Chains A and B, each alone.
Chain A
Amino acid sequence: MRDFSYLRAGNIEAARNAAALPGAMLLAGGTTLIDLAKCGVAEPATVIDISHIEGLNAIDVTADRAVIGALAKMSHVADNTEVKSLFPAVSEALWQAASAQLRNMATIGGNLMQRTRCPYFRDPQNFPACNKRAPASGCSAIGGVTRGHAVLGVSEACIATYPGDLAVALVAFDAEVDLGERKLKVEDFFLAPGATAEREHDIRPGEVIMTIEIPGSAAARRSTYVKVRDRQSYEFAAASAAVGLELESDGRTIRDIRVALGGVATKPWRVRAVEDALKGKALDEDTVRKASALAVEGAVDHGANHYKIALAPRVIARAILKLGETA
């Protein structure tokens, strides 16, 4: 790890000022930054420790909306009683992520800033070419071992998968991220690689994530997060789906449905085509499976990740059908 200076910010203004310094990076839980510094991917000149700032870890949940402070720990949000009852998909996405230790460290704001687990991205010594790390250097993953790589939202510059779980649930329920001076949809906060793979987030120097807001809804209350992976726990998604469902009073016609995919795309991936195909339809297995297939229209595989194109619709269907069974 390269040497760096350490600044402990006492308040948010100090953090913002310091974050604008060249080579400065914010440290909250450290589970991404310290890890990537050890890999030689992150080389901060200055680390600004914001973990001691008080008042940024509140979890405020009502039926209308959840407001979660950027420094709230993943574990605390996952175990929050109101989050569990009003936003179950959010709680499930959190407790199925990482390990108990990492969830005690990692913050909600830091979770949004989590970087890809693409093994080529994480190994600059052996793979100098990575458009995400070094613009225009090329992509080592294309033509490489691609089992974990994305099939949706890919470009010729980058096929790295967005690895997180929480943000998948957030985009399904139209959550917003508050950066202090501006607010934007979480869906827009994440950027697909396009020709600028190095830009993963719409965040500017000096900006600090303050809170995340999730609007309450009937679909959020009846929601789930289904995660399929190579091992049962402590593993990133091979494919995952955050789904919320609201039925008409007849108990079978779909009034509102939210669907987002994880583990298969370059960013948290809302699939409105599936939602549109199901709204107003009766909830039955055949309809659900047909609609779920729309999620991977236009998907592009790179060999070993081909299975994700078959898997993703099945994960969506499983999540929807599971919600349908819960009256």
Chain B
Amino acid sequence: MTVHDMKHAASDSARLEAVGGRLSRVDGPAKITGVAKYAFEQQLEGLTHAVLVGATIAAGKVTAIDTRAAETAPGVLAVLTPDTIMELKGASDWFGNPPALSTYCPLARKVTFSGQHVAAVVAETFEQAVAAAALVKVWYDETPAVVDLSDGKAGDGIPIEAMTKEWGDAQAAFAAAPVRICAAYNTPREFQAAMEPHGLIARWQGDELTIWEPSQWLDGVARTYAEWFGVPFENVRLVSPYIGGGFGSKALALAHSAVAAAAAKMLNRPVKLVLNRPQNFTSYGGRAATRQTVAIGADRDGKIQSIVHRGVNETAIDGMWVEPLGSVTSIMYATPNFSSKQNVVRVNTVVPGAKRAPGENPSAFGIECAIDELAYELGIDPLEIRLINYAEQDPHAKKPWSTRQLREAFAAGAEAFGWAKHSPEPRSMRDGHQLIGSAPRASCLPAAYRPWPRFFRGR
């Protein structure tokens, strides 16, 4: 076997081209040798294992839980239900708003989505906890569930006034435009699905809590634990040595985190709780499913006169998430008339959450597809129509961009991908057996300026 000296290979290139060069990661050697210990891989004396029991209905009430078989199963230390888990205090939300309720129970009596945690088993070994969890018997009073956005029972939802953005008279300008397109775009629920599942180890020493948990927001998560258990913030130590992928999902202390910390307190032993793979799809929210219509009115030469945008995203029965569907729509192209409005619809799902570019992703998808429809309708090249409608300034604020190099990006893209040779005609391009298509696509991440000193206090 060839002996490869990593130190030289990595650091030589680093010295030669430090800026823009291929630097090896600081934590690289630990990760490629298996030495890197992720949060819930810590070894603790007396560690116990917790496994959750999820609801098998999407809506209704838990009427009874029979824990007897689980309690007498080998190795079981505790079976927690809404009736037996210790009461926690309500905690403030992501923005620091105080809780609506003074108490919090992370195990549900009222079920609002399938897979919601209703019980938990703690045992000496992982295998014992898994087996005993399967013995917990739960009875429900099931009620009809709203399955998704397209469910007939879902309704039109709740208007989110703060998302309305309008200038000019978009409806009238659209009606008067000589060329009009209107199209609907749906995006499904999308999941973060990090390789490392969500999970943690919780250990109490007196009223001091140590949590080993992958976290994208150490302080915020620690604050939540402190509030749940009514201990000073300083008493909570959150250890997150590595994050095995988070993609927005690992920024909050979640119901399963509360269960583990409560179990550790009740048993006075460290508890490890790791969501299994199916639970990683129901214990925290991915990007909300969305539905939007984009109507564009334009002149025959392709100049946009109006954009009318209507969006809807799903949220939970007992939680609010607004996926800002108009965030890209309003600043991509110059238009004298614009209207964007958004509703949210409650469905029986775990509350959606942040996932890589929240809002920008489905928003860009809608407007960019619609622009292609307009180009096709007019017989104008898809790149050309983007340049015809190039926004020389922020179309809403009418202020100059701090930086915008979209023209240069389009030119580079045209050269790299050869868009000019591609046909927008449906089913006109093939690669072997596959039908393919291509077109220029742009997006942006609105970097709205906000004063930050509240968060960054100098020493």
Contact = CB atoms under 8 A, between A and B. Distances in A.
B433 interface: yes
11 contacts: A1-B127, A1-B130, A2-B134, A3-B74, A3-B127, A3-B131, A40-B134, A125-B54, A125-B134, A126-B56, A126-B114
Interface string B411-438: 0000000000000000000000100000
B131 A1 contact: yes
A302 interface: no
Contact of B131 (A2, A125, A126, A318): A2
A71 to B, nearest CB: 27
Interface in A27-58: 40
A125 B56 contact: yes
Interface in B101-153: 114, 127, 130-131, 134
Contacts of B54: 125
Interface of A: 1-3, 40, 125-126, 318
A126 B57 CA distance: 8
Contacts of B131: 1-3
Given A1-B131, A40-B134, A126-B56, A318 B433 contact: yes
A2 B433 CA distance: 47
Nearest to A40: B134
A212 B433 CA distance: 34
Contacts of A126: 56, 114
A318 B56 CA distance: 43
Contacts of A3: 74, 127, 131
B118 to A, nearest CB: 12
Contacts of B56: 125-126
A123 to B, nearest CB: 8
Interface string B54-77: 101000000000000000001000
Given A1-B127, A1-B131, A40-B134, 12 more contacts: A1-B130, A2-B131, A2-B134, A3-B74, A3-B127, A3-B131, A125-B54, A125-B56, A125-B134, A126-B56, A126-B114, A318-B433
B225 to A, nearest CB: 30
Contacts of B433: 318
A107 to B, nearest CB: 25
Nearest to B135: A2
Interface in B230-252: none
Contacts of A125: 54, 56, 134
- Chain A at the B interface: mostly helix, strand, loop or mixed? loop
A258 B449 CA distance: 68
Q: Which are the 5 A-B pairs with shortest beta-carbon distances?
A: A126-B56, A125-B56, A2-B131, A40-B134, A1-B130
B416 to A, nearest CB: 23
A1 B74 CA distance: 13
A126 B113 CA distance: 13
Nearest to B115: A126
A125 B134 CA distance: 8
A125 B131 CA distance: 13
A327 B71 CA distance: 69
A125 B74 CA distance: 21
Nearest to B56: A126
B430 to A, nearest CB: 14
A318 B432 CA distance: 12
B112 to A, nearest CB: 16
A126 B279 CA distance: 13
A1 B134 CA distance: 8
Contacts of B134: 2, 40, 125
A306 to B, nearest CB: 19
A2 B69 CA distance: 13
Interface in B29-73: 54, 56
Contacts of B127: 1, 3
Nearest to A126: B56
A40 B433 CA distance: 40
A126 B55 CA distance: 9
B419 to A, nearest CB: 25
A3 B123 CA distance: 14
A289 to B, nearest CB: 15
A129 B127 CA distance: 26
Interface string B264-288: 0000000000000000000000000
Contacts of B114: 126
A2 B73 CA distance: 11
Nearest to A123: B278
B20 to A, nearest CB: 33
A311 to B, nearest CB: 12
Interface string B396-419: 000000000000000000000000
A320 B422 CA distance: 32
Contacts of A1: 127, 130-131
A117 to B, nearest CB: 15
A321 to B, nearest CB: 11
Nearest to A127: B56
A52 B260 CA distance: 41
A1 B114 CA distance: 22
A178 B453 CA distance: 77
A1 B135 CA distance: 11
Contacts of A2: 131, 134
B348 to A, nearest CB: 14
A313 to B, nearest CB: 15
Contacts of B130: 1
A318 B433 CA distance: 10
A125 B56 CA distance: 7
A27 to B, nearest CB: 17
Interface string B250-261: 000000000000
Nearest to B134: A40
B193 to A, nearest CB: 15
Contacts of A40: 134
B54 to A, nearest CB: 8
Interface in B351-400: none
Interface in B88-111: none
Nearest to B73: A3
Nearest to B130: A1
A3 B74 CA distance: 10
A2 B128 CA distance: 9
Nearest to B54: A125
A325 to B, nearest CB: 14
A318 B127 CA distance: 48
Interface string B313-345: 000000000000000000000000000000000
Nearest to B128: A3
Nearest to A2: B131
A198 to B, nearest CB: 21
